[in-house]
């Protein structure tokens, strides 16, 4: 897995990242389809029904990834994502600090 920039930038790099992400899910979908075929019994859906279902899922995924890529080209959206990630990191940090304090307290009470 390659590291990503902490400050997402618009342009080809962002589009390429989302295209790669979408390709990975397409590949995963193909593998899941193959696995299903291997384990499905005779009462399972037909191959055509499976193809239709995966086609629907991949179409929906394409729409979602295009929407996200489009939204992330907006500087205001990118800032909101950064703010949300920062808030999440702060919440995790506070939780870990609180847990550490509680564990230290319990350890000192046991002594």
Q: Are residues 81 and 69 in the same domain?
A: no
Residues 6+ apart with CB under 8 A from 83: none
Could you tell me if residue 6 is inside a domain?
A: no
Residue 14 · residue 69 · CB < 8 Å: yes
Whether the model pTM is above 0.75: no
In tens digits, what is the pLDDT along the chain, a chain of 111 residues? Answer: 555 555 555 557 777 888 888 889 889 888 888 887 777 666 677 778 878 988 999 999 999 999 988 888 889 988 998 999 999 999 999 999 998 888 888 888 877
Q: Are residues 31 and 55 in the same domain?
A: yes
Q: Are residues 65 and 83 in the same domain?
A: no
Q: How is residue 30 annotated by DSSP? A: H
Q: Are residues 24 and 66 in the same domain?
A: yes
Q: Are residues 15 and 66 in the same domain?
A: yes
Nearest CA-CA partner of 54 in 70, 67, 41, 35? 35
Radius of gyration of the chain (CA): 22
pLDDT of residue 92: 92
CA atoms within 13 A on the CB side of 35: 6
Q: Are residues 45 and 97 in the same domain?
A: no
- Host domain of residue 16: 11-73
Angle in degrees, CA 32, 24, 62, rounded to 5: 95
CA atoms within 13 A on the CB side of 67: 6
Q: Are residues 87 and 97 in the same domain?
A: yes
Q: Are residues 80 and 111 in the same domain?
A: yes
Q: Are residues 15 and 69 in the same domain?
A: yes
């Amino acid at each position: 897995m390659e590291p990503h920039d902490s400050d997402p930038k618009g342009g080809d790099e962002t589009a390429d990242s989302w295209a790669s992400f979408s390709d990975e899910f397409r590949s995963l979908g193909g593998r899941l389809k193959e696995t299903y075929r291997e384990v499905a019994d005779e009462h399972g859906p037909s191959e055509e029904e499976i193809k239709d279902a995966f086609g629907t899922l991949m179409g929906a995924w394409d729409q979602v990834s295009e929407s996200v890529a489009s939204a992330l080209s907006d500087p205001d959206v990118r800032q909101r994502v950064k703010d949300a990630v920062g808030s999440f990191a702060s919440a995790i940090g506070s939780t870990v600090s609180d847990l550490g304090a509680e564990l230290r307290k319990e350890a000192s009470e046991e002594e």
